[in-house]
Structure 1
Amino acid sequence: MSSPSEQSPPEGIRFRLHTIIFEADTPAGRAFDIALLWAIVFSIIAVMLESVAPLRERYGPELRAAEWFFTALFSIEYVFRLIAVRRPLLYARSFYGLVDLLAILPTFLSIVFPGAQSLLVVRVIRLLRVFRVLKLAHLLGQAEILITALRASRPKITVFLGTVLTIVVVMGAVMYVVEGGANGFDSIPRAMYWAIVTVTTVGFGDITPKTVLGQLIASVLMVMGYGIIAVPTGIVSVELAAATRHAVDTRACLGCGVQGHDLDASHCKYCGHSL
């Protein structure tokens, strides 16, 4: 049984930082998240503007200075996030922890690898935090449901993609034999490319069958493509319906900062810390 000290609310700088950084239920937390979102938006705009040659030639130093300013700002914020949780390594390995790290690494890498700062557009992923700021908890819960459904669909989708790949290989080989190089099917890989374009109903038209038998095979593959497109939709829909029955809580764990717990959970399912 837990001792009274373990059951009492945590105190000190870590708890205050956690409340401000990870929760949006207080005025300070809401102000922090809104300021962070604006900083992310402005930093992404600076990166995009730097990719435009005329603006880079005219305002290059200013844009680079702005980028280093935002990188320093996000670096401090990342350190504060690690301090605010009791198990920083768990947060660092979480989805948002990795995104926060990737948001600052490209600028430092650009010192060694010029041009790497363009990868900073990854910061746009951090705008997902807007769900917490705007208190759209139901949208965040729907995102968790979608992720759960996709994970549950992974084995079925893998088998489905294996089947499609088999069809593409077989049909590519058949079209290579039927059409031959004279009609653009000069290799099995190129014929497989045509099969992929056809079965996905994209139809670029850069390679087309000229013989009657080839056109008949292409017609069958096109019709098959419509059925193939519907399969993954049905798989994900079934898993989505199953995942919808299990709602999630959006509270952030004080131990590792992870969200997405069950509504009746009293402890974090990732690190065991009390919620």
Structure 2
Amino acid sequence: MDKPLSRRPSARPQPSVRHAKWRETLRALYVGDEPRAERFQWAVGTVDLAIIVFFIFAPVLEGRPSFLWIDYSIAVLLAVDLSARALAARSFRAWILRPTVWVDFVVLATLLAPLTFANLGFLRILRLWTLSKNDLFWRSLRRRGYREWEDVGRASINLLTCLFLITGFIYTFFAEDGSGLEGYVDALYFTVATVTTTGFGDITLPGTAGKLTAIVTMIVGISLFVRLAQALFKPYKVFFPCPKCALQRHEPDAVHCKACGHILAIPDEGAD
């Protein structure tokens, strides 16, 4: 009786195997700490910074013929980045529920339909906040021994995001003939004067909506300024999780955890 012919193993991997390899490769690039992954992450971060600069100056550039070309090009880049991050995520459900992802979807909507969502264009600056959630920059500071500047950097980015977000809102909804806001710089000037509670009074927002906007700007601005001041002037503490209670920050010369009294072994600065 003839033996059945054995099937030769296919030389080409199955689609599911290729898909899994793609996901592992993307995951290694986006969240890995190897030299190749860090180079990739810095390249992505540099592109993100350039995009944020475009978002900041977008109100000034809107009338130029090249604006829509740049706008749609950034939309393609952001869509590719979001798709790659979705593939790299271990749990798509957990990834899609992140606030930073929803911010990116809002930004993408304003890029794909800039005329339809013209009044929401100021929300694009929230991309700066999502970029600050990337641990790449802060990890680089920690490795170089500048961990104490991480809180200052985060507080500064939050303040800048707030300033440009409010500036875009004011420019979008209050810049009109006779309002005193002649352009984007005037809106930024009013925002900074309001946030710092200087209040020169040469530019005021009309109506009840204008007064409420100024009130919210002052409250949020003062809060962020206080947070930045705390980060700048608070006593320096090292990051060393307590093995017992997990308290993460301690005085550099601490011997016992101030929360539970557990004996600590905090290494000296610069120690291997």
TM range (shorter): 0.3 to 0.5
The structure with more helix, counted as a fraction of residues: 1
TM-score normalized with structure 2 length: 0.43
Which structure's relative contact order is higher, taking Cα pairs within 8 Å and 6+ residues apart? 1
